[in-house]
Structures are given as C-alpha cells and as structure tokens.
C-alpha cells in the first residue's frame, strides 16, 4: 500500500474535502498550509511524497496492559499466573522463555507430559493449558513442589506434583521438558532418556561448551531443533 502526501492552502484543503468525500490523514497545519495524506492517488494533485506503508495486523499491535488490579489481554493469549515473590521462576529467564516457545510449537494436545525440575510450575501449567492429557511435575525442592501446587490452583489446572528425581520414576511420558543445569543432565541423563517416548524439550545450557556436552549425552536421539537466546540454548529431541 502507498501513502500519498499533499500540501494545500487552508482554503484549497477545505474545498478539496468537500469534493473528495473520503477520509484523509491530517499530518500538520502551519499557518495557511495544510499537509495531509491519502491512500490512493488524487486526480489533478501532485503529491509532495509517496511512501510505502506496511500493514500490521491488529492483533500484533494490541499488547496486554494493566489498569489498577485488572489485566487486559487478547482472547487468543494463554494467561499463566504465578507468585512473583518466589525464587523458582517467573518466566523472565531466557531458559524459561525458550522452553515455553518450544513447548508451544512441538507439544501436541492429548499427549502425556513430564516436567523435570518444575520450579514454580510455569512449564507444567503451560502444558496443561495446551491440552495435555496428564502432567506430572517433579522437583527435589519441597518448596518448589508446594509452589507448583499453589500455582496450579491459581491457574485452574490439574497437575500431579511430586518431590522426586528422575531415578524415582518408572512410567514413561510422551513429552518431557527439563530446564536444568548441565551437571544435573550429566547425572540424570540415563533416567531422563527412558522417561519420554516421543519428544523432549531441554534447556538450562549456557554457551557452546554446555550444548556440545549435552548433545553428546543424548547422541542416540534425533535433534529436531536448537535455538539460542542471550547465550542460553534450547534443544528439541525425538526418539
């Protein structure tokens, strides 16, 4: 789409409006000179400039905002409410953002899911809201377990939450997400491998060295996707 910019005297402009009978964009008015724009060429007028206009969908312009205690957002967004006072994750860290983006793209509704190292439960809640048939969230920290339970209630989703390590589990899940540090992956890789049957999302890896070591640990799996955000890596693996 093109934007045609014109300049007319005030008298000429108002006479033009009466004849044009379409909307115009008023850009500026200085003394007796009015600058305005139309989105189609006007016969018998020479534009001062012609600009290319990029059309942005309405939903991309509207961003969530607050008014007092109210949060206003588009209906297609999936809200996740967490307690900001806890230290188990609020969704701001790059690894959490990476996991959320990969979950949204690579998780399928109806799958069973396991969240290893659930922290505040953000990833588990996301899986539940995306249509998981069953979600188990585990963490070795008792406070994280309690916080995940509270956040699940706060978001109106049903989760199974346990204080456990991967070694404590026997059942396999179709989808697994693990946002952990490399030393934990090195310790738990054997158990993590047997706990998912289709696809897994992994993060908590900082820098190329961490990524290389992680990929060696899981070299018997297919690498579907690797993404990077502020030095942190996320990996999608399939059996």
Q: Is 46 annotated as a binding residue?
A: no
**C-alpha pair distances (Å), 17 with each of 38, 47, 237:** 11, 16, 62
Give the chain's length.
Answer: 239
CA distances for 129 relative to 21, 101, 196, 210, angstroms: 50, 14, 20, 31
CA–CA separation, 1 and 24 (whole Å): 15
Residue 179 assigned as binding residue: yes
Q: Does 117 appear as a known binding residue? A: yes
Q: Is residue 176 classed exposed, middle or buried when 0-12, 13-18 and 19+ CB atoms within 10 A define those classes?
A: buried
CA 161 from centroid of its chain's CA atoms: 24
Residues that constitute the known binding site: 96, 117, 139, 179
Residues that constitute the known binding site for S-adenosyl-L-methionine: 96, 117, 139, 179
């Amino acid at each position: 789409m093109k934007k045609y910019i014109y300049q007319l005297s005030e008298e000429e402009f108002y006479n033009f409006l009466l004849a044009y009978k379409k909307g115009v964009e008023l850009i500026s008015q200085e003394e007796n000179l009015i600058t305005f724009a139309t989105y189609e060429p006007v016969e018998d007028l020479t534009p001062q400039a012609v600009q290319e206009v990029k059309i942005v969908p309405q939903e991309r312009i509207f961003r969530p905002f607050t008014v007092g205690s109210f949060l206003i957002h588009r209906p297609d967004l999936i809200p996740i409410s967490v307690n900001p006072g806890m230290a188990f994750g609020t969704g701001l860290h790059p690894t959490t953002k990476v996991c959320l983006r990969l979950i949204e793209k690579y998780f399928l509704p109806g799958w069973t899911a396991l969240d290893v190292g659930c922290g505040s439960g953000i990833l588990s809640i996301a899986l539940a809201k995306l249509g998981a048939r069953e979600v188990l969230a585990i963490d070795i920290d008792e406070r994280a377990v309690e916080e995940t339970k509270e956040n699940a209630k706060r978001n109106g989703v049903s989760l199974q939450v346990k204080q456990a390590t991967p070694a404590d589990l026997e059942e396999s899940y179709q989808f697994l997400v693990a946002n952990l540090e490399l030393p934990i992956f090195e310790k738990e890789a054997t158990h993590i491998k047997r706990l998912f049957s289709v696809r897994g999302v992994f993060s908590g890896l900082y820098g190329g060295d961490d990524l290389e070591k992680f990929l060696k640990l899981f070299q018997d799996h297919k690498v579907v996707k690797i993404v990077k955000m502020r030095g942190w890596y996320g990996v999608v693996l399939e059996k």
